[in-house]
Chain A
Amino acid sequence: MTRHRGRGMAAINYPIGMNLGGDPSQALVHSNPSGKFTVALSSIDLGQGMKSVTRQICAETLGVPVEDVYVDTADSDTGPHCMGSFASRGTHRVGNAVMAAAKEARGVMMEAAAEELEVNAADLETDGRGNIHVKGAPHRAISVKDVAIAAQFRQGKTISGRGIFLVPLSDVDPETGEMSPATCYAHACLVAEVEVDDETGEVGVIRMDSAYELGRALNPRLVEQQLVGGAWMGMSHALYETTEPYYPDPRQGPRDFVEYLMPGPGDICPHDIAVLERPAPDGPFGGKGPGEMCANPVLPALANAIFNAVGVRIDELPITPEKVLRAIRAQGGARPQTRR
């Protein structure tokens, strides 16, 4: 019995948002009289961090601290229409809608501040800490809170904004498939190292190194959460999971997590990630969307690493020990390829 090490890689890109566009999202932003802002959405936070990323986008656009913004999601009576949380559209589509709404609200806020300070709104800037001051003259300042009070009780202005983002729907040519599927793409390359046991066919994942280009990492910790979790999902998809183990024979399907195999804590591996940022021209602060694509390069990188380790190609998922062992036996034993 020998354990053979091998390395494999894969490179991918991924379209952001619903294919062909036509998937709008709206956002509403308003201030209360204390200068605290609420973002109303009907978008869903599945755990990916929708509330947090839109909160940061709103705070950045308004020029206020992130603590002064609260995101309220998914009430159909208060949140305006959103297509939904799927197709890597949250950051790009909803983020843009929030940015548009926050810009409109900021416009009113600056006008109200200008009236209080008796200056031109174009001469004002925010300090990001809850104050508005005349450019180059920080002492001529007013807090966002005082602006909000003045707008509400003296000026009769509503510091609020509406935003929508829509990529116009593309047609598809029936004959050639000519179409505009997406406005921007994220990119990735991943290297996986495996160890294959030629007696049992078992594949252990030793480590991963990767580079992801995501436009802009709006919140690097949320990005890391997606990329680490996505790599686990890719590994699970490649080596463990199926609802039909003998597909297309539909029988023998698993009914619970005892029968449905997934990698446990002992099966995961170190993953060293680099994030590149080439801003998308139409993304909020250049952001694209790391959500879906991060599982994709793991599957082929593992299959290619297994070939490098023992010389067998498994083209049917999942790559179970049974398949690996049968393939090794069919070729008369492991045939390690050039070490990389």
Chain B
Amino acid sequence: MLELRKDIFADERDDNLNEVGKGTQRQDMLGHVTGTSTYFNDHKLQGMLHLRVVRSAQPHARLRRIDTSEAERSEGVRRIIRGSDVPRNLNTLLSLINFGKDDEPTLAVDKVRYRGEPIVAVVAETPRAAAEAAAKVRIDYEDLPAVFDVEEALKPGAPTVNETYPKNTFIYHERYDHQKLRFGDVERGLAQADHVLEQRYQMSPIEHAPVETNGSIAAPDTNGRYVVYTSTQALFFSLDTCAKILDLPSNTFHFIGGTVGGGFGGKVDTLTEPLAILAAMLTGRPVRYVLGREEEMQFGPPRGAERIYIKDGVMRDGRIVARQIRGYFDSGAYTRLSSYAVVKCAAHLPGPYTIPNVHGDIYCVFTNRTPATAMRGFGITGIDFALECQMDKLAHLIGMDPMEFRILNAYRDGDMKAHRREAKNTALIECVQVAAEKAKWPMREEFRRMSSRKDGGGARAAVPSTPRETAATRPAPAQQRTSYDRGLSSPPLEPPPPPPQSPAPSSSHGATRFSSVFGTRRR
């Protein structure tokens, strides 16, 4: 089933190793196959309470009134938590790397922006008591027009989903509503081409579908600390997000995890920990907050949808001379991590091929649906689907074998990539050759002899002349700041986001900034 082709690139490797390269059995295998590995939900603590959130029934509405009086009297209820109970009820995940503006409440206060958005949390003695009380929370909505299509959301007059980003797009470099990639002159390339092919591709949202749903258990510990058992994929990411939202020093929390029942990107968003800890703080008891399967599927963040337009210019001999791409990532109602995937997608253009003229505009768009998040292949899976379907169509158009067409256009060592870095350590050609061999797919001798290590660079290493666009009026913002030098930052260039509804937070909080990233800084 799996064959190691040690003969290829053998001269670049030292295979004289003891442990690396062996198919050693996993350290945790015995526990996994006997069902005895410990996951977060295996911790049954004395006096543990159960938390359930009340979710919005509407995709976009003002909250006129939240009536919890009947729910408070419901049997077994120990506490109702509202947005005003959350110390810092506005956050964006990537504020930990100083990227983007706080745009998402833990519990909605004035408005809901997607169906399923958490509004109130109920903490009760049993899961059943929590569910019964949650059903007794009465919410008056004033419906607002909603937008679900990424291109509709960009039209003038479209409803504003998220007031932090009034035009429904994330803002890059404090000036653009998209991330650009510019390499060479795509218009000229398209004009020279023998054929031009423009196509539209649509990725649907999908669920991570882990066996273990998102969840955590928080419990008061000695010395004023809280121990948190969690399903997170990123322990310190979640810990520091909690420190920020709860406005406490990060060493207040002792996070324990590490053995997780599947993640695939769906356990980075710190969905349950802040409320579980807050409930433990407010009740003095351990609190468990675990998503049910329906919640996980519909309101746990999915891999977001993407819409991609590709326009390619190709010569009769098979060379691609221009590639123009416009992509829209459907972020849902809040940013989460989609803003990051957009830049990763732009960096990936034009795929693993050397094309002299490349032009990309990638947008992160807000719509009234469950916020999207990372998933296996984040930022890449969608564009790879579009690019490789397009490659098949181009090969068909010019009557060339699709394998040979890939090899002809493949990037090689020494080539200049569209993000202006030299290609190194490439191996696309060899993968195509070996796959063809395995599948007994006929390939001409000259293509079987080509190599990633030959015939790259030279003229292919040049950065082509790229026309400047007349847009940049504002100087580039100071880059690479961390929270430690925030005092040096220039005044904000955009209107400030709406103030948080909870008690005004101080400018400092417990979270540690890991590093800084270009572009819009958190304020």
Asked if A244 CB lies within 8 Å of chain B CBs, one says: yes
Asked if B504 CB lies within 8 Å of chain A CBs, one says: no
Asked if B180 CB lies within 8 Å of chain A CBs, one says: yes
| A184 and chain B: residue at smallest CB distance | B425
Give A248 Cβ to nearest chain B Cβ, in Å. 4
Asked if B239 CB lies within 8 Å of chain A CBs, one says: yes
- Contact assessment for A74 and B235 in the assembled complex, using a CB-CB cutoff below 8 Å: yes
Asked if B379 CB lies within 8 Å of chain A CBs, one says: yes
Given contacts A15-B347, A242-B206, contact A44 B476 (CB under 8 A): no
- Tally chain B residues at the interface, Cβ within 8 Å: 146
Stretch of A116-124, A138-146, A155-163, A168-176 contacting B (4+ beta carbons < 8 Å): A168-176
| A287 and chain B: residue at smallest CB distance | B20
The residue from B9, B233, B305, B352 contacting A277, defined by CB atoms under 8 A apart: B9
Give B126 Cβ to nearest chain A Cβ, in Å. 22
Instruction: Find residues 230-274 in chain A having any chain B CB closer than 8 Å to their own CB.
Output: 230, 233, 237-238, 241-245, 247-250, 253-257, 260, 262, 271-274
Stretch of B314-322, B495-503, B515-523 contacting A (4+ beta carbons < 8 Å): B515-523
The residue from A86, A171, A248 contacting B480, defined by CB atoms under 8 A apart: A171
Asked if A33 CB lies within 8 Å of chain B CBs, one says: no
| A303 and chain B: residue at smallest CB distance | B389
Asked if A152 CB lies within 8 Å of chain B CBs, one says: no
- Contact assessment for B293 and A44 in the assembled complex, using a CB-CB cutoff below 8 Å: no
| Bound complex: CA A198 to CA B18 (Å) | 54
Asked if A105 CB lies within 8 Å of chain B CBs, one says: no
- Contact assessment for B148 and A250 in the assembled complex, using a CB-CB cutoff below 8 Å: yes
Name the residue in B23, B179, B204 with the highest tally of chain A Cβ atoms < 10 Å from its Cβ. B204
| A275 and chain B: residue at smallest CB distance | B4
- Contact assessment for B428 and A189 in the assembled complex, using a CB-CB cutoff below 8 Å: yes
Given contacts A244-B205, A248-B305, A299-B385, contact A85 B4 (CB under 8 A): no
Give B482 Cβ to nearest chain A Cβ, in Å. 10
Asked if B260 CB lies within 8 Å of chain A CBs, one says: yes
Give B77 Cβ to nearest chain A Cβ, in Å. 26
- Contact assessment for B343 and A285 in the assembled complex, using a CB-CB cutoff below 8 Å: no
Name the residue in A51, A227, A228, A304 with the highest tally of chain B Cβ atoms < 10 Å from its Cβ. A304
Instruction: Find residues 183-197 in chain B having any chain A CB closer than 8 Å to their own CB.
Output: 183
Asked if B74 CB lies within 8 Å of chain A CBs, one says: no
| Bound complex: CA A213 to CA B427 (Å) | 7
| Bound complex: CA A218 to CA B369 (Å) | 41
Stretch of A5-13, A107-115, A326-334 contacting B (4+ beta carbons < 8 Å): A5-13
A-chain residues with CB within 8 Å of residue B343 when the two chains form the complex: 19-20, 172, 179, 181
A-chain residues with CB within 8 Å of residue B396 when the two chains form the complex: 307, 337
Asked if B435 CB lies within 8 Å of chain A CBs, one says: yes
| Bound complex: CA A285 to CA B13 (Å) | 9
Asked if A136 CB lies within 8 Å of chain B CBs, one says: no
Give B152 Cβ to nearest chain A Cβ, in Å. 8
| Bound complex: CA A272 to CA B439 (Å) | 9
- Contact assessment for A175 and B180 in the assembled complex, using a CB-CB cutoff below 8 Å: yes
Q: Mark A65-83, 1 if CB is under 8 A from B, else 0.
A: 1100011011111010111
Q: Mark B356-392, 1 if CB is under 8 A from A, else 0.
A: 0000100000011110001011111100111111011
- Contact assessment for A82 and B236 in the assembled complex, using a CB-CB cutoff below 8 Å: yes
Asked if B255 CB lies within 8 Å of chain A CBs, one says: yes
B-chain residues with CB within 8 Å of residue A70 when the two chains form the complex: 27
Asked if A322 CB lies within 8 Å of chain B CBs, one says: no
Q: Mark A169-197, 1 if CB is under 8 A from B, else 0.
A: 10110111111111011011111000000
- Contact assessment for B406 and A237 in the assembled complex, using a CB-CB cutoff below 8 Å: no
Asked if A324 CB lies within 8 Å of chain B CBs, one says: no
| Bound complex: CA A15 to CA B351 (Å) | 11
- Contact assessment for A15 and B369 in the assembled complex, using a CB-CB cutoff below 8 Å: no
A-chain residues with CB within 8 Å of residue B431 when the two chains form the complex: 11, 187-189, 211-213, 276
- Contact assessment for A271 and B480 in the assembled complex, using a CB-CB cutoff below 8 Å: no
The residue from B201, B293, B369, B377 contacting A296, defined by CB atoms under 8 A apart: B377
The residue from B13, B202, B235 contacting A76, defined by CB atoms under 8 A apart: B235
Given contacts A181-B347, A242-B206, contact A175 B182 (CB under 8 A): yes
Asked if B115 CB lies within 8 Å of chain A CBs, one says: yes
Asked if B65 CB lies within 8 Å of chain A CBs, one says: no
A-chain residues with CB within 8 Å of residue B439 when the two chains form the complex: 7, 9, 191, 209
Give A203 Cβ to nearest chain B Cβ, in Å. 15
Asked if B444 CB lies within 8 Å of chain A CBs, one says: no
- Contact assessment for A42 and B235 in the assembled complex, using a CB-CB cutoff below 8 Å: yes
Q: Mark A216-227, 1 if CB is under 8 A from B, else 0.
A: 111111111001
- Contact assessment for B180 and A20 in the assembled complex, using a CB-CB cutoff below 8 Å: no
B-chain residues with CB within 8 Å of residue A317 when the two chains form the complex: 202-204, 385
Q: Mark B232-257, 1 if CB is under 8 A from A, else 0.
A: 11111101000000000000011111
Asked if A94 CB lies within 8 Å of chain B CBs, one says: no
B-chain residues with CB within 8 Å of residue A181 when the two chains form the complex: 343-344, 347-348, 419, 421
Instruction: Find residues 130-154 in chain B having any chain A CB closer than 8 Å to their own CB.
Output: 148-150, 152
| Bound complex: CA A179 to CA B418 (Å) | 10
Give A62 Cβ to nearest chain B Cβ, in Å. 9
Give A22 Cβ to nearest chain B Cβ, in Å. 4
B-chain residues with CB within 8 Å of residue A79 when the two chains form the complex: 235
The residue from A49, A55, A172, A291 contacting B518, defined by CB atoms under 8 A apart: A172
- Contact assessment for B297 and A185 in the assembled complex, using a CB-CB cutoff below 8 Å: no
Asked if A336 CB lies within 8 Å of chain B CBs, one says: no
| Bound complex: CA A211 to CA B2 (Å) | 10
Give B496 Cβ to nearest chain A Cβ, in Å. 22
Give A224 Cβ to nearest chain B Cβ, in Å. 4
Asked if B454 CB lies within 8 Å of chain A CBs, one says: no
Asked if B263 CB lies within 8 Å of chain A CBs, one says: yes
| Bound complex: CA A275 to CA B265 (Å) | 25
Residues of B within 8 A of A (CB): 1-6, 8-9, 12-13, 17-28, 32, 59, 97, 115, 148-150, 152, 172-173, 175-176, 179-183, 199-207, 209, 232-237, 239, 253-265, 267-268, 293-294, 297-298, 302, 305, 330, 340, 343-344, 346-348, 351-352, 360, 367-370, 374, 376-381, 384-389, 391-393, 396, 402-403, 406, 410-411, 418-421, 424-428, 430-436, 438-439, 441, 466, 468-469, 471-472, 476, 479-480, 514-519
Name 14 extra pairs, CB < 8 A, besides A43-B235, A243-B297, A278-B12: A19-B344, A47-B32, A56-B19, A57-B20, A76-B239, A76-B253, A182-B347, A213-B431, A219-B21, A274-B4, A274-B434, A277-B6, A278-B430, A279-B9
Residues of A within 8 A of B (CB): 7-15, 19-20, 22-24, 42-47, 49, 51-52, 55-57, 59-60, 63, 65-66, 70-71, 73-77, 79, 81-87, 128, 169, 171-172, 174-182, 184-185, 187-191, 209-213, 216-224, 227-228, 230, 233, 237-238, 241-245, 247-250, 253-257, 260, 262, 271-281, 285-286, 291-293, 295-297, 299-301, 303-304, 307, 313, 315-318, 337, 340
A-B contact pairs, 17 of them (CB 8 A): A8-B392, A9-B435, A11-B428, A22-B517, A44-B235, A52-B25, A86-B233, A189-B431, A209-B435, A211-B430, A228-B1, A237-B206, A274-B2, A277-B9, A278-B425, A315-B201, A315-B389
